[in-house]
Amino acid sequence: QQQVKQSPQSLIVQKGGISIINCAYENTAFDYFPWYQQFPGKGPALLIAIRPDVSEKKEGRFTISFNKSAKQFSLHIMDALPGDSATYFCAGRKASPKFYFGSGTKLNVKP
Amino acid sequence: DTGVSQNPRHKITKRGQNVTFRCDPISEHNRLYWYRQTLGQGPEFLTYFQNEAQLEKSRLLSDRFSAERPKGSFSTLEIQRTEQGDSAMYLCASSWPLQTTSTDTQYFGPGTRLTVL
């Protein structure tokens, strides 16, 4: 069963717009939630991460919002740039160091 | 370049053949992970090592798959008697677990794309 569910599957935004990608998890044992960015032909690269004792984390144009009671978290990309066009994966981790990834969101930023 | 490296980057093989992939982690990292990624999906965990010890294996890792990390540095993933369903990107990641923060950030390599004909 998929432990982390991600939506939407794809997203198109204009340059300068805001992108929001949502994830939901079932297992309350998750203690770490990273977001990864992946370009075609490359491995995923860590973008930003959050722990469940924090409701929001911002790094530059990227913000994670975390709702522990709803078991949901989201990635907000502000002032989107064409270079942000990539696939974004959320993930969760339990006590074991392995990550459970969402199915990905393909973002296309139009110039 | 001090990132995670994987070789080969691409491998095309015929069904029934054996293949082996190599991963070189970031040098000071003691944890090494293998994931499999199929088209349009997120990476799925296969196995991980802490130093040379293989500590966890996914049920996805059938008897045809074996991974080793003999000296706690590089790792190999072997697939025996390949099947068309094995076609995927095989990703390696490494991490240096921080005891105090437990963030254990995983850094991924570029992957090996396997095509089984």
What one-character-per-residue DSSP string does B24-56 give? E--TT--EEEEEEE-TTS--EEEEEEETTEEEE
Confidence of residue A1 (pLDDT cuts 50, 70, 90): low
Rg (CA), chain A: 13
Tokens of B12: 């095309």
B53-62 pLDDT, tens digit per residue, is 999 999 888 8
Tokens of B102: 């437990």
B70-86 pLDDT, tens digit per residue, is 988 999 999 999 999 99
Amino acid found at A107: L
Min Cα distance A103 → chain B (Å) is 5
Phi, psi torsion values for B84, nearest 5 degrees: -60, -30
Mean pLDDT for the stretch of residues B14-29: 95
Say if the Cβ atoms of A104 and B105 lie within 8 Å: no
State yes or no: pLDDT of B21 exceeds 70.
yes
3-state DSSP call for residue B3? coil
State yes or no: pLDDT of A97 exceeds 90.
no
The answer to whether B94 faces chain A, any CB pair under 8 Å, is no
Which one is predicted more confidently, B102 or A51? A51
Give the torsion through C-alpha atoms of A40, A43, A46, A47, to 10 deg. -10
Q: Which of A36, A90, A96, A99 to mutate to test the interface with B (most CBs of B within 10 A)?
A: A99
Min Cα distance A16 → chain B (Å) is 26
In chain A, the percentage of residues whose pLDDT exceeds 90 is: 79
User: What pLDDT sits at residue B65?
Assistant: 95
- The answer for B 10-49 residues in CB contact with A (under 8 A) is 31, 33, 40-45, 48
**Which of B45, B91, B103 faces A43 most closely, judged by CB atoms?**
B91
User: What pLDDT sits at residue B98?
Assistant: 63
Phi, psi torsion values for B86, nearest 5 degrees: -80, -10
A31-50 pLDDT, tens digit per residue, is 899 999 999 988 999 999 99
Mean pLDDT estimate for chain A = 93
Q: Report the C-alpha gap between B8 and A25 in whole angstroms.
A: 35
Amino acid found at B82: T
User: Which of B21, B34, B13 is closest to B81 using CA atoms?
Assistant: B13
Min Cα distance B33 → chain A (Å) is 8
**Which of B43, B110, B111 faces A101 most closely, judged by CB atoms?**
B43
Confidence of residue B7 (pLDDT cuts 50, 70, 90): very high
